[in-house]
Structure 1
Amino acid sequence: MGSNGSLRIYSPPTDHVSEFWRNKYEKDARKYWDLFYKRNSDKFFKDRHYIQKEWGTYFQKLESSSTDELQNDNPNEMPVLLEVGCGVGNTLFPLLETYPKLFVHACDFSARAVSLIKAHKYYDENHIHAFVCDVTNEDLSIYIPAHSVDFATLVFSLSAMSPEKMPQVLQNIKRVLKPNGHVLIRDYAFGDLAQERLSAKVQKISQNFYVRGDGTPYLINLFKEEGYNCEMIRVFEKTVENRAREITMDRRWIQGVFSLMDPQNVSRSIPSIPTMPLSERKSHGVVHSESNEVDLSEDAAMFMGIPGFEVISVTVAGRVFQIKCIPKEFQHSCKATGLMVWESAEVLATLLSMNSSTLASKTVVELGCGSVGICSMVAATTARLVVATDGDSDALALLAENLKMNAESFASTEVFIEPLSWGCEEQMDVVKQRTDMQGFDILLGSDVTYVPAAVPLLFASAKGLIAKAEPGKSEPVLLLCHVERHVNEAFILDCAQKSGFFLQDRWPRDKKGITDIVSSSILASLFPRGLEEAFHMHDIVQLYCFRLEHQDQSVTLSTIN
């Protein structure tokens, strides 16, 4: 909250993802990773040559014990490795280069990642079995003979799973692991830059989505509960300086080795080893390595800061827009929500495009437009005046690029860009001056009601910007299109009422428990074309039509602060 009562719509850093988005993220994760690998192929992550340095003694011992017996490349005689979450082979190919007698089962739930492994020039079916599998709900023993695996690796994989499913994953691995088999793990530790960035950006799918604490107690107990002994566990630290970007990154990762528990010795002690910098580490139960190599590939654009932009084509009622934005798979790992295309914006833009007469000669303002601004672009084809507003300077800078890129698509009217943090009266006045202080006929908002603290200020700002109703003219409206996330409908309607707005219509209309909608077909009259089809295709999107009750429209921020 600013000193003037203004508030941005972006979530506070301590927020958790809602239950709806948590379920949706897990449900759609495979799709997003497929899109990621489609875009980046095998060029994004670096090969992990440090694996043999960290765990080389395990592989060497196993390989040497089998060397004398191996006469041919017979998978039944080779040491067997299972890599869970293999990606595009950044671990398995370097390992096979160093230990050519290994046989590797490599699984990932991204079919595209697995296809890239199979297309690799060093892919050899005599040494690699790559297959698609979601280890959180698919039985590994369907693909791999039971009790046949010597080692299983979880390299930056466990932290990508919700904690409720981690025990199931360890049970799954246990089915295919030999009685003396090992699980080797490397992942983010609490305090790592990537983990902190995730925690600070509304990323916490649940409280233990990552390896928590300093990581060791949670991880040890997790494996112990599923019948594993801890042979080694450490947290490593390193400060990495990127001189080109003039940034310093604190990296912390956890590394452990677990074996199946000996039922005759279940009280086996676990080595307690303090965290220390790489430069000081000794072989206290840890495979010693002089390497200071840190795998930074996992944090790059996928897990840190603002990822790289892409230009995508967004089709709105047959009109194609070129939009520079953040890829959609980052919607749960990037704080900059205003830098990507959201479903509600596409729905609202489609309705506006199919019913252009609704906007003819009107003054239009878009609230929280983000960097995409497709609703403003569509409105500019017929409206008399269009102003796109947002409280984030990065979003507005990118919006200017997108408007320039698509200028020919909405050449009828210029789209004006104005900063607006909701509740800031000075900025509201600047925006309203575009109408000679008369206010706007149509106010648009898509996916702008997901932060509870911002919703009252949204309606207060809308009240200050909406035009007064005049006899003989269509009454000004506020159209909000959204997917219900952190904020339920009852709260939105209550905030609207406190600012003098009433819900005149909504779509779809089959919402139970809503009794204060005026009997009206206003949305059907505003959008005679495409209304049914749009919401049939996007069944989680909702559209509200608000009107201001006929009363004094002065904004009193003190009543909502």
Structure 2
Amino acid sequence: MMMTVIMNDSCRCSPSISVYACDCSEDTLEKANEIVCNTQGVDAKDRFHPFLLDVSKENFPGWLFCKCCQSSDGKVVDLSPDSSHLYVRGKNSISLKEDQCCVGGIDFITMIFMLSAIPFNTISATLERCMSVLKPGGLVLFRDYGVYDMTMLRFLPHQRVGFREYMRADGTYSYFFSLDTVRELFHAAGLLELELEYCCVRSVNRKNGKNMQRVWVHGKFKKPTSQ
């Protein structure tokens, strides 16, 4: 359920973009860091920063919001890929509106097949945390499983734990969104809808000839420039 937050200097594909990726699994973060650092032609040493956080339960750490916090926080935080302190939990979590030092904030937040993996009753609080760190005019880019996706139809009745919510054998959650549900959740968090649609994909398994019907929900939301 990795989520990424991006700080940008306003130019798309800018070499100064910094990406902060959080997940509740150290293994996932280590794999992501390995992939990025081994990518040919990409100098990500100082721009890709994975850190350990369960955003469904915890606030973002204070040092995430501005460079001043990263250098002046009570604890030293080395975010370089080679650092032994790569994964940290911020002890002083704050939001932009709680500390005037932290101006600006995050330009983009990506949630790609992430919200469906947390309990549905924690999604609203998770979106509020994201809203608190997003700068005015910042974007949330969302894609996740849609209702009647083929994976939803494969779940057995006893795996259902809520309305369109299921639990896998490994104990992880899987929720399947409708457009109305996504719209209500994001609007309740104070985000403006720019794009929201189903993305239906039909593919064929060449080995066994089976058709695979995928249904995803694609969304793009914006934080208002004025409250």
For 2:158 and 2:143, the matched residues in 1 are separated by: 24
User: Aligned to 1:194, which of 151, 155, 158?
Assistant: 151
User: Aligned to 2:54, which of 134, 137, 144?
Assistant: 134
Change (3 A) 1:244 1:207: same
**Aligned 8 A contact 1:152 1:184 in 2:** yes
Structure-to-structure mapping, 1:161-240, within 5 angstroms: 161-198=118-155, 200-209=156-165, 210-212=175-177, 215-240=178-203
**Structure-1 residue corresponding to 2:11:** 63
For 1:111 and 1:143, the matched residues in 2 are separated by: 20
Q: Deviations over 1:60-109 (max 9, x none)?
A: 99425xxxxxxxxxxxxxxxxxxxxxxxxxxxxxxxxx654421011111
What is the CA-CA distance between 1:142 and the residue it aligns to? 3.1
For 1:163 and 1:140, the matched residues in 2 are separated by: 20
Q: Deviations over 1:152-209 (max 9, x none)?
A: 00000011111110011101111211011110001111111122223x3533232143
For 1:157 and 1:196, the matched residues in 2 are separated by: 20
**Structure-1 residue corresponding to 2:28:** 113
For 1:242 and 1:132, the matched residues in 2 are separated by: 36
Change (3 A) 1:124 1:241: same
For 1:60 and 1:201, the matched residues in 2 are separated by: 45
For 2:159 and 2:181, the matched residues in 1 are separated by: 19
Structure number with the higher helix fraction is 1
Q: Which amino acid aligns with 1:117?
A: A
**Aligned 8 A contact 1:139 1:172 in 2:** yes
Structure-to-structure mapping, 1:43-122, within 5 angstroms: 62-64=10-12, 100-120=15-35, 121-122=38-39
Change (3 A) 1:174 1:60: closer
Uncovered stretches (5+) of structure 1, i.e. residues with no partner? 1-29, 34-58, 65-97, 265-561
Q: Deviations over 1:5-36 (max 9, x none)?
A: xxxxxxxxxxxxxxxxxxxxxxxxx9xx9xxx
**Aligned 8 A contact 1:188 1:254 in 2:** yes
For 2:176 and 2:226, the matched residues in 1 are separated by: 27
SS at match of 1:182: strand
For 2:14 and 2:149, the matched residues in 1 are separated by: 31
For 1:131 and 1:221, the matched residues in 2 are separated by: 29
Q: Which amino acid aligns with 1:142?
A: G
SS at match of 1:250: strand
For 2:162 and 2:141, the matched residues in 1 are separated by: 24
Moved more, 242-251 or 154-163: 242-251
For 2:209 and 2:22, the matched residues in 1 are separated by: 38
SS at match of 1:63: coil
Matched positions, count: 172
For 1:195 and 1:61, the matched residues in 2 are separated by: 40
Q: Deviations over 1:197-225 (max 9, x none)?
A: 23x3533232143233xx11110000111
Change (3 A) 1:119 1:61: closer
Change (3 A) 1:125 1:140: farther
What is the CA-CA distance between 1:126 and the residue it aligns to? 1.3
Point out which structure has higher relative CO (alpha carbons under 8 A, 6+ apart).
2
Change (3 A) 1:158 1:194: same
Q: Percent identity?
A: 26
SS at match of 1:130: strand
What is the CA-CA distance between 1:231 and the residue it aligns to? 0.7
SS at match of 1:221: helix
For 2:23 and 2:149, the matched residues in 1 are separated by: 25
For 1:221 and 1:127, the matched residues in 2 are separated by: 34
Which structure's CA Rg is the greater one?
1
1:241 aligns with 2:196: no
For 1:143 and 1:206, the matched residues in 2 are separated by: 36
**Aligned 8 A contact 1:162 1:206 in 2:** no
SS at match of 1:140: coil
**Aligned 8 A contact 2:141 2:220 in 1:** yes
Moved over 6 A (4+): none
For 1:114 and 1:135, the matched residues in 2 are separated by: 14
What CA RMSD, in Å, does the superposition of the two structures yield over aligned residues?
2.7
What is the CA-CA distance between 1:239 and the residue it aligns to? 1.5
Change (3 A) 1:203 1:99: farther
